[in-house]
Structure 1
Amino acid sequence: MLVINNSSDLVLSDSKGHTLWTAAAMNSTITGGDGAYAVLLDSGNLVLRLPNGTITWQSFDHPTDTVLPNMKFLVTYKAQVAERLVAWKGPDDPSTGEFSLSGDPNSNFQIIIWHGTRKYRRNIALDAVKVNFGAYGSNTTSIMFETAVITEDEFYGMFTTSDGSPYVRVTLDYMGIVWIRHWNSESSSWTVYPQNSESTGDCARYASCGSFGYCDSTSATPRCQCLDGFEPDGSSSSRGCRRKQELICGDGNHFVNLPGMKVPDDFLHIRNRSFDECATECSRNCSCTAYTYANLTGDGTMGNLSKCLLWTGELVDTGRVTGGQNLYLRLADVPTDVLG
């Protein structure tokens, strides 16, 4: 039974009157006296309103495994994880499953799919972007747009659909895959598309290509490869890679630009740097193995959000993706005797 009690809280009870869930349990403070009422909006948002129309609680602020159009999914707020998607336990079991999706507690612009407490897949958003995913279905002009917004205080994602679009929702399933589900009115069923299709191969699971290896998801068959200047550390690059020429501090080194990359994990974020200052920051530090740079100033975001990222030691969970970043990798200069 779902009721609004005398304290204007939305309460779900079982047949014996035991409270199973309340809006108040979701850290909602509800004031305003009698007359509160619940409304399911056309957007799919369940809201609790006071008589004056003020919304005191809404389901969009408490996602389960689903994101709907125009629903602001707050990834991080002031460098803290804000919201989390939690997958079902199984295809027909809505209890809490093993996979979840949230912001990275160690970074304010990464999204992680977790398998329990372990990182399973990782996406990084260095830019505020708007991506056209294209048309779904053969007889529709439905277009879906996804926007990632990064400011000094928050990082959130939202997607919208074109006018006249059928119903669309994004879900995290019990296998840890994010799906776009598009309603087919002819068959009265959901047509599904994997949103992270480039991550369905085994090589794109977190750190699956080992140190200094990367997963090339732009190829027809995604597979592990070694970064430039590296070779397989053993019989396969899926076990990681090693340098062909070791670095010597103070000796001749150079940086090679690797375009279109999903940059590695475990970086150090240096704020308020120009590109040249970022490059200098890495080149003067013997432990710095790579850097990347993104400048969001002027993109409608707040403040100076230049992103100078530095890496020390090994590089893990790197990839080649469509629309990736420039990754500047430190390599040793080839000895003249090798050049001949």
Structure 2
Amino acid sequence: MAILPYVIVVLKMLLFSRLSSAIDTISKSQPLQDDGRTTLVSKDGTFELGFFSPGSSKNRYIGIWYKNIQPRAVVWVANREIPVKDNSGMLTINTEGHLGLLDRNETIIWVANSSTKALTPIVQLLGSGNLILRDEKDQNPQNYLWQSFDYPSDTILPGMKLGWDLRTGLNRRIIAWKNWDDPSPGDFTGQLMVHDFPEVVVWKGRTKYLRSGPWDGQQFSGTSLATDGSPFVSVLVSNKYEVYYTFNTKIESFLARSVFNQSTYTVELIWKKDDQRWKNWSISPKDNCDTYNLCGPNGNCVIGGAPICQCLRGFTPKSPNNWDALDWSEGCVRSESWSCKVKNKDGFLKMTGLKLPETTHTWVDASMTLEECKAKCIENCSCTAYSNSDTVSSRGCAIWFGALIDIREVSLNADLDLYIRLAASETAEVRDGGRNNTKVIVVLATIVFAFVIVIIFLCIYKTRRKYREGNDVEESKRDMEIPFYNYVVIVTATNNFSIDKKLGQGGFGPVYKGTLADGQEIAVKRLSKTSHQGMKEFKNEVILCFKLQHQNLVKVLGCCIKGEEKMLIYEYMSNKSLDSWIFGSITQRNTLDWSKRFQIICGIVRGLLYLHQDSRLKIIHRDLKASNVLLDNEMNPKISDFGLARIFGGGQIEENTNKVVGTYGYMAPEYAYNGIFSIKSDVFSFGILLLETVSGMKSRGLSYPNQCLNLIGHVWRLWKESMPLKLIDACLEDSFIVSEALRCIHISLLCVQHHPDDRPNMASVVMMLSNESDLPQPKEPAFLLERSPGRQESAQNNHISSSINEMSFTELDAR
């Protein structure tokens, strides 16, 4: 495009006064200059457009962000790939009616081409966050000449479309920033895949990383969020003209955005205007099972399963040896071939609550009933499964061909059924033929007998429960010797457990912020009714937490019991959890300088030492991680969430459990593989947490240099190559104390030794941190995912049962 039209505009600009900072439009005669003062502001004051420099970068970009929200939350960037190198940038409309960005030399940095011209074009920033080019006299959205909503950056706003315009071939997709300082396109891309059964897929380069599951009529099937009570309305539109996903908010006081970045991938956030803060609504990936095709073809990922990957019924591991070694990539194969078209030979297994398989090879007919869908599948020997394509109307037919890829359990999708084709021997109970009459009689008799027993049991139980309920709370008060809060007081304090009061969500239930009548702020852990924690277990946890009084442990203020409702009341931690700082924005990570990080490390050590040695009870936490370390208003660390903690008696050294619970990336090997835990299990977790605090890197889930698949492998490689200081968080620059940083890295490697006996106890860690004495040399640590040549590693049958016990108050801050 010729430069001359822009030069003409530059000359015209000299004849007009500068823009007012309160307007929402620019015209040919009024361009927007990078003068540090002038911006466009939407009429409702929600969004602002102007020049900015992200993070510590000096490059200049044109972007849109939420006005008056700090830190700045950028939602769109025009010139992502080509920044302006100084403050000479100018956003203008040329004589041909195109919107463009020029630099000092009138070089075109970025241009928004439009196929249609207008007599009097203007650019306007709308209250939706959409930047539009239109004719000054035409406000019809159908006639916009160009709009930023058609070219997303890393954020989807309410009303914005993610998907395709089939008439023009326009693909509206989101691409993560390269990093916090650089908005240029990174490795991760999210887009709607236009199959017969649309779904969103996240790519890392050219590799599939994450999949939403197909749209089931009200949400994507891989979503574990209940639609009831959600502040969002989600819609998928699919017709001959376009296929796209969009969402809006139900509550006017909420702002929302769906962000895509290099550390958390996709995140939906909500912000209450009178509360001045962002909060997580949903995060993907939320656990290991969200990893694309983790369990291979025909495998099902089950959080809490042992192992986490399980073959679907009627299938067996393709490579049993690899499967037992926790390598599930080859997946599963059929244990018996089906007959295909032979009457009454093949059957279907109904599975409920799944993320439906990948839809690359599917066929969909929206008008079919489920029975017609089944008949269609039986007719085709390549059909492996079928389902309704719309759970809202219970109609529509979706048929899968070939292997079933990337399945996982999603507990809240109870209305979503998948019918998997199996041989008759595997699905005798669902054959079309009748059953043997004798078997029917035996089964019915058994059912009737069991029913009678259940009725008798329920009558006895109901009578006893009715007696107990009246005395339960008072008895608990006497037994537990802990302050009890009135249920009405807690409901009032949390505004009836309002969504805008929600701080986090874990495996044991949600956590809410509350304010008592006297102004005291509290955190309320509301135990989920599905957490399987009875009154006895609840009492044990309350008593345990209440007896543990230390400056580096979160203080339990009391509890509340009302019928089936059980709640723990904690002191409120205003600075949330450690992970939100060390993995947060550049601003937050810069704020957490070395002295604060070292102070936090020492505080965690003191808290663990108290649990292991100084308290009346020897406590093993079993779930120490960054999200379970909370920070008060002076950034003092406090260990939280003792839902998985265990008490050791007298001289007890270790214990074995058949159910391994905790968080991937922090588990000691003897615990993850064999279920053996001790104080040294916590020491291992502390070692991981220490590495994360020093480096600002997550223990797992990211890619590290030199093909290391986790943080330990990365650190060990740097240690062996005598370059440990490369591990230090770049945000710390030269502000850290070298000797302290090196000692922390050294101690962390000692804490993550493979054998528990090689790890120090917390008393030794205190000594190591507080003096300059020589430290023993670490051996090769545990959980190196890159194996040495010729070395065999075996895993026991007692595999990991991962927990999503996230009693954290984590917030993801805006950019």
TM-score clears 0.5: yes
237 and 247 in structure 1: CA distance in 2 versus 1, 3 angstrom threshold: farther
In structure 1, the residue matched to 2:279 is 191
Give the match's secondary structure for 2:145.
strand
Structure 2 runs not aligned, ≥5 long: 1-89, 220-225, 427-815
188 and 3 in structure 1: CA distance in 2 versus 1, 3 angstrom threshold: same
Kindly tell me the number of residue pairs found equivalent between the two proteins: 315
In structure 2, the residue matched to 1:282 is 377
- Whole-Å Cα distance in 1 between the matches of residues 416 and 169 of structure 2? 25
Structure exhibiting the larger radius of gyration computed from Cα positions: 2
User: What letter corresponds to residue 38 of structure 1 in structure 2?
Assistant: V
Q: Please say if residues 110 and 123 of structure 1, whose CA atoms lie closer than 8 Å, have aligned partners that are also in contact.
A: yes
User: What letter corresponds to residue 293 of structure 2 in structure 1?
Assistant: A
Structure 1 runs not aligned, ≥5 long: 136-142, 300-305, 336-340
1:97: how far off? 0.5
In structure 1, the residue matched to 2:234 is 146
334 and 148 in structure 1: CA distance in 2 versus 1, 3 angstrom threshold: same
1:19: how far off? 0.6
Q: Please say if residues 99 and 176 of structure 1, whose CA atoms lie closer than 8 Å, have aligned partners that are also in contact.
A: no
- Whole-Å Cα distance in 1 between the matches of residues 204 and 271 of structure 2? 28
- Whole-Å Cα distance in 2 between the matches of residues 80 and 228 of structure 1? 42
Q: Name which of 89, 93, 96 aligns with 2:178.
A: 89
In structure 2, the residue matched to 1:4 is 93
In structure 2, the residue matched to 1:139 is none
Deviations along 1:293-339, one digit per CA (max 9) or x if unpaired, are 3258979xxxxxx643323332111222232631111111229xxxx
Q: Name which of 7, 11, 29 aligns with 2:115.
A: 29
- Whole-Å Cα distance in 1 between the matches of residues 208 and 283 of structure 2? 18
1:23: how far off? 1.2
User: What letter corresponds to residue 209 of structure 1 in structure 2?
Assistant: C
User: What letter corresponds to residue 122 of structure 2 in structure 1?
Assistant: Y
In structure 1, the residue matched to 2:250 is 162
In structure 2, the residue matched to 1:238 is 328
- Whole-Å Cα distance in 1 between the matches of residues 327 and 133 of structure 2? 54
Q: Please say if residues 169 and 181 of structure 1, whose CA atoms lie closer than 8 Å, have aligned partners that are also in contact.
A: yes
Q: Please say if residues 298 and 312 of structure 2, whose CA atoms lie closer than 8 Å, have aligned partners that are also in contact.
A: yes
- Whole-Å Cα distance in 2 between the matches of residues 195 and 79 of structure 1? 32
Q: Please say if residues 209 and 292 of structure 2, whose CA atoms lie closer than 8 Å, have aligned partners that are also in contact.
A: yes
User: What letter corresponds to residue 257 of structure 2 in structure 1?
Assistant: R
In structure 1, the residue matched to 2:295 is 209
Question: Aligned Cα RMSD in Å?
Answer: 3.2
User: What letter corresponds to residue 328 of structure 2 in structure 1?
Assistant: S
Give the match's secondary structure for 1:264.
coil
Give the match's secondary structure for 2:262.
coil
Q: Please say if residues 225 and 237 of structure 1, whose CA atoms lie closer than 8 Å, have aligned partners that are also in contact.
A: no
User: What letter corresponds to residue 118 of structure 2 in structure 1?
Assistant: G
In structure 1, the residue matched to 2:661 is none
In structure 2, the residue matched to 1:330 is 421
Q: Please say if residues 118 and 134 of structure 2, whose CA atoms lie closer than 8 Å, have aligned partners that are also in contact.
A: no
Greater length-normalized contact order (CA 8 Å, ≥ 6 residues apart): 1
Q: Please say if residues 253 and 272 of structure 2, whose CA atoms lie closer than 8 Å, have aligned partners that are also in contact.
A: no
In structure 1, the residue matched to 2:129 is 44
- TM-score w.r.t. the length of structure 1 is 0.80
Deviates most, 70-79 or 118-127: 70-79
- Whole-Å Cα distance in 2 between the matches of residues 293 and 222 of structure 1? 30
In structure 2, the residue matched to 1:138 is none
- TM-score w.r.t. the length of structure 2 is 0.36
The structure where strand makes up a greater share of residues is 1
1:149: how far off? 3.0
Percentage of matched positions with identical amino acids? 31
- Whole-Å Cα distance in 2 between the matches of residues 117 and 20 of structure 1? 28
User: What letter corresponds to residue 261 of structure 1 in structure 2?
Assistant: L
Q: Please say if residues 132 and 146 of structure 1, whose CA atoms lie closer than 8 Å, have aligned partners that are also in contact.
A: no
1:189: how far off? 5.2
Q: Please say if residues 149 and 157 of structure 1, whose CA atoms lie closer than 8 Å, have aligned partners that are also in contact.
A: yes
Give the match's secondary structure for 2:400.
strand
- Whole-Å Cα distance in 2 between the matches of residues 222 and 71 of structure 1? 40
- Whole-Å Cα distance in 1 between the matches of residues 197 and 102 of structure 2? 38
Give the match's secondary structure for 2:388.
strand
Q: Name which of 253, 257, 278 aligns with 2:346.
A: 253
- Whole-Å Cα distance in 2 between the matches of residues 150 and 39 of structure 1? 29
In structure 2, the residue matched to 1:338 is none
Deviates most, 54-63 or 236-245: 236-245
Matched, 1:269 2:363: yes
